[in-house]
Amino acid sequence: MLISRGVGVIKNVTALVSRTKAPMKTQVRHSGGPAMYRDIWEPNKYDKYMAEFVGGVMWWWILWHMWHDFGHIVGEFDYPEPEKWTDEELGIPPDDADV
């Protein structure tokens, strides 16, 4: 079993070693504009500051409204008082019931 697997590994290694690398060809663009697919560019300083500013305003807006208008998240209703619930509403059988 090891011999049969070893033969395959040796064939693959020799094929990889004997293969010559072809020169890399670049594709020509005829659209006249810069290529944007997967191009990486460094944003300028203004864009960085504006992104930080807009992100800060967004988090201020979220946290401000969570603090001052919390009813929008949890709902605006009175919380029921559990002391007023009856045993029947809670599904508790009466004390004299046979179990």
pLDDT score, position 80: 83
Domain ranges of the chain: 41-71
Cα torsion through 34, 38, 40, 46, rounded to 10 = 80
Report yes or no on whether pTM surpasses 0.75.
no
Joined tokens for residue 31:
């659209």
77-94 pLDDT, tens per residue?
A: 788 888 899 888 888 888
More confident residue, 8 or 32: 8
Question: In the structure, how many helices (H) and strands (E) does the chain have?
Answer: 4, 0
Average pLDDT over residues 13-20: 70
Helix (H, G, I), strand (E, B) or coil at 46: helix
Q: Across all residues in the chain, what is the average pLDDT?
A: 80
Spatial contact of 35 and 29, defined as CB atoms under 8 Å apart: yes
| Nearest-angstrom CA–CA distance, 99 and 97 | 6
